[in-house]
């Protein structure tokens, strides 16, 4: 535990023998994984937490798993950070939240659930500077608001603006409308309501798909604008993951009420397998990870022994009033030798760079078609597409033993150097 290791070349490793398992996207070799949490950087080291159930491939008894990296390429496995505790507000799970530097102390601010009703309290957990030892509190700093408008309130995300620290929280009603609430939290134990940051009454909200709850809100400055990211949750079966990205401005009233005024809205990712991202400002850039959802049934997940992973780190930029995404620059160090693009590709991880429209297929079945230039990153069963001038597209395609990928169109293909981006087993 805690040592950097390359499991991709260990024949005894079950995940390494699974052609669907990603090697560039670090994750535990077993269990359920969903939302990225607590993306942060302390003393020059990146820390990435995530929702994890080490006991099964179902969304139950969620812990906070933890990996860290000095270069965004080689990830080190760390001890589990947060655990559900019997008799405590987080007895059913430690759900989504963030990590902040609170006067030198790394502090997790997270959703604590005691059942699966959607109601969540906000708890704190404090750590050492290496983020290895965590002490979870017992008393909520923000109990579930007693507000008939909302059945669901969760997922705190903290930021700074105008000399104050603030928190946005997703909210909604399973039979009603969603909203993003905002609090002033100069002291993490004192949450002062600062209004409704954004709700369906704003005319730009009409451009978003219908949803019951706006989950996992992120609010951060990008260039000379503010960006609000919200994940759209819809009650009932058959809904598809969707994440909206709004660009606009913040208005702060004299009585310290905060309101977001969007100028534009669009999808952050156009694919069917992207949800619940978390962003972090690092100097003059913003990096983001999302959850790559599965597209296979529970029996297949149980047989595989694992479910879900995180995207590659993406760097965000403004293009007018739209947000663009590209793989973080550090990933270029993992691009290896060029391989033939006009033959079947059996590499487990590769990137295809297209000068003009082209497509990718697996065993003769179309996976994605590009209508312009761009890049397609393949890693096991994860496919991340970055079209030039358009939103990314995240999807899944599941290779079997002996499967081959085919690139059609004017592309150059490069194998990825797995040893440079080893995924360590938790």
- Among candidate residues 246, 312, 231, the one with its CA nearest the CA of residue 276: 231
Spatial separation of the C-alpha atoms in residues 244 and 21, rounded to whole Å? 28
Q: Is the pLDDT of residue 277 over 70?
A: yes
* Residue where the block lists tokens 């949750």: 233
Spatial separation of the C-alpha atoms in residues 366 and 374, rounded to whole Å? 17
The Cα-based distances of 335 to 14, 92, 352, 397 in angstroms read 25, 41, 11, 21
Predicted pLDDT of residue 425: 37
Predicted pLDDT of residue 116: 74
Spatial separation of the C-alpha atoms in residues 120 and 122, rounded to whole Å? 7
In this prediction, residue 6 has a pLDDT band, given cuts at 50, 70 and 90, of very low
**Token reading at 373:** 């230039």
Going by CATH, does the domain composed of 14-329 fall within 1.10.340.30?
no
Spatial separation of the C-alpha atoms in residues 81 and 125, rounded to whole Å? 9
Count the alpha carbons within 13 Å of 41 in the hemisphere toward its beta carbon.
15
Q: Residues 395, 367: contact at Cβ < 8 Å?
A: yes
Domain with CATH 2.115.10.20 in the chain: 14-329
- Among candidate residues 2, 12, 4, 26, the one with its CA nearest the CA of residue 349: 26
- Among candidate residues 90, 71, 73, the one with its CA nearest the CA of residue 81: 90
Q: Residues 80, 108: contact at Cβ < 8 Å?
A: no
What does pTM read for this prediction? 0.94
Element (H, E) at 119: none
Rounded to an integer, the average pLDDT of 379-396 is 97
In this prediction, residue 147 has a pLDDT band, given cuts at 50, 70 and 90, of confident
Phi, psi torsion values for 302, nearest 5 degrees: -60, -40
Predicted pLDDT of residue 424: 42
The beta-strand segments (E) located in 73-209 are 75-77, 93-102, 105-113, 121-127, 134-136, 152-161, 164-172, 179-187, 190-199
Predicted pLDDT of residue 28: 87
Q: Please, which residues have CB within 8 angstroms of residue 271's CB and are 6 or more apart in sequence?
A: 385, 392, 393, 394, 395
Rounded to an integer, the average pLDDT of 356-360 is 97
Rounded to an integer, the average pLDDT of 289-294 is 98
List the beta bridge partners of residue 257. none
**292-351 pLDDT tens trace:** 999 999 999 999 999 999 999 999 999 889 999 999 999 999 999 999 999 999 999 999
Q: Is the pLDDT of residue 262 over 90?
A: yes
**207-231 pLDDT tens trace:** 999 999 999 999 999 999 999 999 9
Q: Is the pLDDT of residue 128 over 90?
A: yes
Q: Please, which residues have CB within 8 angstroms of residue 269's CB and are 6 or more apart in sequence?
A: 243, 277, 290, 325, 391, 392, 393, 394
Q: What is the DSSP string of 272-300?
A: SSEEEEEEEEETTEEEEEEEE---S-HHH
Q: What is the dihedral of CA 81, 87, 92, 98, to 10 degrees?
A: -40
Element (H, E) at 353: strand 349-354
Q: Residues 247, 262: contact at Cβ < 8 Å?
A: yes
**Token reading at 230:** 């919200």
Q: Is the pLDDT of residue 426 over 60?
A: no
* Residue where the block lists tokens 């730009």: 204
Phi, psi torsion values for 306, nearest 5 degrees: -150, 160
Predicted pLDDT of residue 420: 36
Q: Residues 72, 46: contact at Cβ < 8 Å?
A: yes
Q: Please, which residues have CB within 8 angstroms of residue 276's CB and are 6 or more apart in sequence?
A: 34, 35, 36, 96, 215, 216, 231, 241, 243, 290, 291
Helix (H, G, I), strand (E, B) or coil at 398: coil
Spatial separation of the C-alpha atoms in residues 343 and 15, rounded to whole Å? 27
**112-123 pLDDT tens trace:** 999 877 679 999
């Amino acid at each position: 535990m805690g040592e950097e290791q390359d499991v991709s070349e260990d024949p005894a490793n079950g995940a390494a023998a699974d052609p669907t398992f990603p090697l560039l996207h670090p994750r535990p070799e077993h269990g359920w994984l969903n939302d990225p949490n607590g993306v942060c950087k302390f003393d020059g080291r990146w820390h990435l937490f995530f929702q994890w159930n080490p006991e099964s491939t179902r969304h139950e008894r969620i812990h906070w798993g933890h990996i860290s990296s000095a270069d965004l390429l080689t990830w080190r496995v760390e001890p589990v950070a947060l655990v559900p505790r019997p008799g405590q507000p987080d007895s059913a799970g430690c759900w989504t939240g963030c990590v902040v530097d609170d006067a030198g102390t790394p502090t997790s601010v997270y959703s604590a659930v005691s059942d699966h009703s959607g109601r969540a309290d906000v708890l704190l957990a404090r750590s050492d500077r290496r983020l290895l030892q965590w002490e979870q509190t017992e008393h909520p700093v923000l109990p579930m608001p007693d507000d008939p408008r909302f059945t669901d309130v969760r997922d705190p995300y903290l930021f700074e603006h105008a000399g104050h620290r603030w928190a946005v929280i997703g909210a909604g009603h399973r039979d009603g409308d969603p909203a993003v609430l905002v609090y002033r939290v100069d002291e993490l134990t004192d949450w002062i309501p600062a209004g409704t940051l954004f709700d369906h009454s704003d005319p730009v909200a009409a451009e978003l798909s219908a949803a019951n709850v706006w989950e996992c809100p992120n609010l951060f400055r990008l260039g000379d604008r503010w960006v609000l990211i919200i994940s759209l949750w819809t009650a009932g079966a058959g809904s598809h993951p969707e994440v909206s990205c709004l660009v606009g401005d913040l208005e702060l009233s004299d009585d310290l009420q905060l309101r977001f005024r969007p100028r534009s809205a669009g999808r952050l990712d156009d694919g069917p397998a992207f949800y619940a991202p978390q962003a972090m400002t690092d100097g003059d850039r913003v990096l983001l990870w999302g959850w790559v959802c599965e597209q296979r049934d529970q029996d297949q997940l149980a047989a595989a022994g694992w479910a879900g992973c995180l995207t590659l780190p993406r760097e965000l930029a403004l293009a007018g009033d739209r947000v663009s995404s590209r793989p973080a620059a550090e990933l270029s160090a993992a691009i290896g030798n060029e391989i033939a693009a006009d033959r079947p590709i059996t590499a487990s991880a590769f990137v295809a760079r297209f000068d003009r429209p082209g497509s990718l297929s697996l065993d003769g079945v179309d996976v994605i078609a590009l209508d312009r230039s761009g890049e397609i990153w393949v890693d096991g069963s994860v496919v991340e597409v970055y079209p030039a001038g358009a939103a990314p597209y995240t999807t899944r395609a599941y290779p079997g033993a002996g499967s081959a990928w085919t690139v059609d169109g004017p592309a150059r293909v490069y194998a990825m150097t797995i040893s440079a981006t080893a995924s360590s087993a938790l």
